[in-house]
Structure 1
Amino acid sequence: MTPTNSRHWVLSNKPTGLPILDGPDATFQLETKSLPPVEDDQVLLKVLYWSNDPAQRLWIDPNISPDRLYVDPVEMGYTMRSYSCICEVLQSQWTNISVGSIVMADVGWCEYAVVPAGDCIPVQPIAGLEPTHYISLFGLAGVTAYYGLVDIAKTGADDAVVISGAAGAVGSNAVQVAKHVLDCKKVIGIAGTDAKCRWVESLGADICVNYKGTDFQKHLGEATNGFVEVFFDNVGEEVLDFMLTRVKKNGRIAACGAIASYNGTVTGGIKNWYQVIAMRLQIRGMVVTDAIPTGRFSAIVDLLKQGYRDGKIKATEQGMTVVPTSFEDVPKTWMRLFDGRGSGKLLTQLV
């Protein structure tokens, strides 16, 4: 039976700290909305999976002015957005997409959606891989890793590189790209448990340091003995501050993320800014969607696919944390981004 309604999680309060899941101040609210008829050149989609990304927290932050945000914010009363979703086509009024096809689309936190067919990207199967790899290894996470290392930090074989958040979606892909695609002379990861560090090393890192372990700065200092040319930062705060002292003169820093401060938990800020001046460090912020208009995004996807075929990039079980989730629990799964559970790309699977 064709659905006529769809449940949505909409933004009901913009959080100043950690998002709230229950009570009168809850960040999100569950609503049911009517589906419009499928018109010419449109498709009806059933959402199967969607991406969970730390950047979504910035889209709902009341302390960030819209003119200082790289995308339009999610406004209260609107469906919470997601970077990308894997969907099944239930109805199609476009000849190039057939019913039953699996596509990627940006439809947000809903069960069903009617969208322009031209906004959908058909998922082309790769032997041995699930469609979910199109929003992890060959999607935003993988492209961000490659774009940050190559286009932003100009990383090459003569470089030693440190990657924070190395067990996360972007970081784990960056480890593989740095070691096996770019042939960097040394790759150092930073992660939050000993088990995650061992997994990061299995991906190719020469060493991974547990930032929650004892004597973290001592161990990271030893790992970066002689200093490093490149720092790929997904975390910010204290890790970034210390790494300013470990990047050598004229070194490059790709500022990809700052998850340590996204929920308002700033602990001390940057104390070592003098290092930027004295060492002539180059720090460049990055937003991977900048690569879309130039065609660079799709070109990097092709490079990543070739890296997989050549055996340089692995699709590991730990590279994705897929959480089967009832629609009522969608915000709870998203919140796992901020508690350190899981590894690799966090995906919601609607059940």
Structure 2
Amino acid sequence: MASIPTSTRAWIVANYPKGLATFTTSDDKNATFKLVERPLPALGPEQVLVKTLFLSNDPAQRVSIESSISPERLYRPPVELNAAMGSSGLGEVIASTASSLPQGTIVFAPLDWTEYAVLDAASCQPRNPLPNGLSLTHYLGAFGGPGLTAYYGLVVVGEAQRGMRVVVSGAAGATGSMVVQIAKNIVGCSQVIGIAGTDDKCRWVESLGADICLNYRSATFEEDLVKATDGFVDLYFDNVGGHILDLMLARLKRNGVSVACGSISAYNSQEPTVLKNYFQVITMRLSIRGFIVLDYLAKAKETLEIFVRAVQDGKLKISNDNEQVVATKFEDVPRTWLRLFEGANTGKLVTKLI
């Protein structure tokens, strides 16, 4: 039997970043993330020692280390300095004092950027096999927070209905790609228009069910958007904020809705977002509706059951194409996370520790 570790490597938040985060494995005192070794506490009653297998990479994690926002205006406390960078993930229980989570159980848990973590059993959720032999990593994407975010934001917050016309930005991302499929194949929206960052990503989004997907890096993007939204649209699912949000305020119908899910275009910027079309919120009686998926967790089980049925009925396309699993040495965990802000991933970006 392998010995039980008494310490773990961890990536801590050494400094809050100004712009794009940086990392170091040495003594760079200005880096955002620093690699350290820390002792592990002994297991107490109803606790488990978990070995991290996969880490979830999410744009909103950047907000958790943003010092320019007052903590009281965030939806959860920011990561404290010298604490491990926050992240959920999948891990294997390698020691346990909890009968409900025996050794060998695969759990979804708040593992943070650590190799090993001692956690209360109550904070760990065992994960069973998914339909069609799908990888358990989809519990970090389509069957996890991004999938729930897509359904909650579109159906509950946005009140999407059959026959509506919908635009989705960040449509090739973990959440956006689920919004496209839910809108078209579960809700029954009449037209779904995606926005993504490359032609290849756009073709993939169209393969999921979007009627058309526009490359926002194209020289003709603004003209293409006006043409695609001729007659205006009912709902805009916003994952990016910034200039595209501004453009979409002028493309919504009267009483249209913009669902504010994310603003990745601004997460690493020190410049304020300027909305030149903001006055149309008034003239067109528009609604901008912010939301946090944590408010919806009580409905997670029944929503995931909807997804399972939709996969079985062919309404949701979930496969290896929906995620990008990057084999990563622990020394490179921040490097893989930073790919989120390069537009390098299609679907969910997952770190696989090797």
Residue 319 of structure 1 and its aligned partner are, at CA, apart by 1.0
> Identical aligned pairs, as a percentage?
49
Cα deviation 1:13-69 (Å, max 9, x = unaligned): 101211122433110111111111122211110000010111011110110110111
2:332 is the counterpart of 1:329: yes
2:216 is the counterpart of 1:211: yes
Which residue of structure 1 aligns with residue 38 of structure 2?
A: 33
Question: In structure 1, the residue corresponding to 2:166 is in which secondary structure?
Answer: strand
Question: How far apart, CA to CA, are the structure 2 residues paired with 1:5 and 1:181?
Answer: 47
**Contact persistence 1:237–1:266 (CA under 8 A):** no
2:163 is the counterpart of 1:158: yes
Which residue of structure 2 aligns with residue 124 of structure 1?
A: 128
1:72 alignment partner, one of 77, 87, 91: 77
Question: In structure 1, the residue corresponding to 2:23 is in which secondary structure?
Answer: coil
Question: In structure 1, the residue corresponding to 2:253 is in which secondary structure?
Answer: strand
**1:154 partner amino acid:** E
Cα deviation 1:240-292 (Å, max 9, x = unaligned): 00000000000111000000000015375111011100100011001111112
Question: In structure 2, the residue corresponding to 1:220 is in which secondary structure?
Answer: helix
Question: In structure 2, the residue corresponding to 1:229 is in which secondary structure?
Answer: strand
Question: In structure 2, the residue corresponding to 1:47 is in which secondary structure?
Answer: strand
**Contact persistence 1:260–1:266 (CA under 8 A):** no
1:308 alignment partner, one of 311, 316, 325: 311
**Contact persistence 2:196–2:202 (CA under 8 A):** yes
2:26 is the counterpart of 1:21: no
Residue 107 of structure 1 and its aligned partner are, at CA, apart by 1.7
Cα deviation 1:122-150 (Å, max 9, x = unaligned): 10102411110111111001110010000
How many aligned residue pairs are there? 348
Question: How far apart, CA to CA, are the structure 1 residues paired with 2:33 and 2:353?
Answer: 17
Which residue of structure 1 aligns with residue 101 of structure 2?
A: 97
Cα deviation 1:102-138 (Å, max 9, x = unaligned): 1100120000011111111110102411110111111
Residue 306 of structure 1 and its aligned partner are, at CA, apart by 1.8
What is the root-mean-square deviation of aligned Cα atoms in Å?
1.1
2:48 is the counterpart of 1:46: no
1:176 alignment partner, one of 166, 175, 181: 181
Residue 310 of structure 1 and its aligned partner are, at CA, apart by 1.7
Question: Which deviates more, 315-324 or 130-139?
Answer: 315-324
Change (3 A) 1:270 1:38: same
Question: In structure 1, the residue corresponding to 2:10 is in which secondary structure?
Answer: strand
Give ranges in structure 1 of 5+ residues lacking alignment: none
Question: How far apart, CA to CA, are the structure 2 residues paired with 1:4 and 1:24?
Answer: 27
TM-score (norm 1): 0.97
Question: Which deviates more, 316-325 or 198-207?
Answer: 316-325
Residue 297 of structure 1 and its aligned partner are, at CA, apart by 2.5
Question: How far apart, CA to CA, are the structure 2 residues paired with 1:237 and 1:347?
Answer: 26
Question: How far apart, CA to CA, are the structure 2 residues paired with 1:307 and 1:32?
Answer: 44
Question: How far apart, CA to CA, are the structure 1 residues paired with 2:206 and 2:236?
Answer: 17
**1:340 partner amino acid:** G
Question: How far apart, CA to CA, are the structure 1 residues paired with 2:215 and 2:270?
Answer: 20
Give ranges in structure 2 of 5+ residues lacking alignment: none
Question: How far apart, CA to CA, are the structure 2 residues paired with 1:215 and 1:133?
Answer: 35
Question: In structure 2, the residue corresponding to 1:338 is in which secondary structure?
Answer: helix
Change (3 A) 1:213 1:265: farther
1:4 alignment partner, one of 3, 6, 24: 6
**2:349 partner amino acid:** L
Question: How far apart, CA to CA, are the structure 1 residues paired with 2:250 and 2:319?
Answer: 33
1:189 alignment partner, one of 178, 194, 202: 194
Question: Which deviates more, 67-76 or 314-323?
Answer: 314-323
TM-score (norm 2): 0.96
- Spell out the pairing of 1:266-277 with structure 2 (5 A cutoff): 266=271, 269-277=274-282
Cα deviation 1:70-124 (Å, max 9, x = unaligned): 1100011101001x21000101111111211111001200000111111111101
Cα deviation 1:150-205 (Å, max 9, x = unaligned): 01000011210000000011000111111111110000000000000000000000
Question: How far apart, CA to CA, are the structure 2 residues paired with 1:289 and 1:306?
Answer: 23
Question: How far apart, CA to CA, are the structure 2 residues paired with 1:267 and 1:286?
Answer: 21
**1:262 partner amino acid:** Y
